[in-house]
Amino acid sequence: MLEGGEVGACVFEKPEPHVDDTLLYDYALFFVATLCDYYEATRDREALLDLWPVAWEQIQIGLRRLDERGIVKEDETWWCFIDWRPELNKQASAQAILLYCLKKGLKLAEAQALTDEMNFLREKIEYVTEAALQHLWDEERGWFISGPAAQVSWASQIWMTLAGVKDRRENGEILERLFDEPSAVRINTPYMYHHLIEALMESGKQDRAIEQMRIYWGGMIGDGADTFWEVYHPEDKAFSPYGKESHQQLLPCLELHAGLFYPKIFGLT
């Protein structure tokens, strides 16, 4: 934990287990989602009770970044990862991640029958959702927008889908239109692409999801990857956030992505 109670973005094992000083808005909130996913998979109540106070604190810290409109505010002290994309405005994605994690927190509170916390979270979920629809949804353009320039990005649409701001049908329509919108800021990492796949699946777009898995993870395999890279931009294969000349020099992504689990999709078996 960092001095302000936030969950740090990075934990190192050597010379002894310790957290570094990196704070990311989204990573800290994902502690809530991770605990919820873990509990739903294992029903490990002891871990839930032990770690719930940490999750609850991340929710409180996340909510403190809301401005008077109920929108996550940006300033020079704030860092939210989302994706390796320099021009990406992250405000809408951050709003959606906060909402996504509030909903995960509600599930955890319900599992413990915490009435006050449940009521609090339901109120905040409604508030954050309404704020997103009022200030970040552009009805005329049909996109969620982000930041002062009203940027349209894949990340914003993906995260608003995962947060359930619109219904399943609308989400599917928004995601399908992304593939034909050249002005929308695209995504660069297997990390963000796996959120795209999940969003497509949840919106009933399984065929499109499998298509993108073949194109993206299959593209890395076609380019000679023996582990999936941290960053892969099919239209700019030399892109790297670390100043390298080739994505093949990037650190291997430690997450196991779809190609490892579904080799038949890529015709590997």
Answer yes or no: is pLDDT of 256 > 50. no
Residue 241: which pLDDT band, with cuts at 50, 70 and 90? confident
Residue range 58-68: mean pLDDT, rounded: 97
* Banded pLDDT at 181 (limits 50, 70, 90): very high
- Tens digits of residue pLDDT in 7-53: 988 888 989 988 888 889 999 999 999 999 999 999 999 999 999 99
Residue 124's pLDDT is 98
41-55 confidence digits (pLDDT tens): 999 999 999 999 999
- Residue 6 pLDDT level (bands cut at 50, 70, 90): confident
For position 260, what pLDDT does the model report?
A: 35
Q: Is the pLDDT of residue 195 over 80?
A: yes
**Average pLDDT in the 71-77 region?**
87
Structure confidence at residue 244 (pLDDT):
55
Residue 255 has pLDDT above 50, yes or no: no
Amino acid 243: pLDDT: 66
Res. 108 pLDDT band, cuts 50 70 90: very high
Mean pLDDT value across residues 139-164: 97
Of residues 62, 56, 159, 58, the one with CA closest to residue 108: 56
- For residue 67, pLDDT beyond 60: yes
Pick 230 or 257 by higher pLDDT: 230
On the question of pLDDT at 148 being above 60, the answer is: yes
How many angstroms separate the first and last alpha carbons of the chain? 44
pLDDT, the chain, mean: 88
pLDDT over 70 (residue 259): no
Task: Tell me: pLDDT of 229 over 90.
Answer: no
| pLDDT value at residue 198 | 97
Percent of the chain with pLDDT over 70: 90
pLDDT in the model for residue 75 = 82
Residue 2 confidence (pLDDT): 80
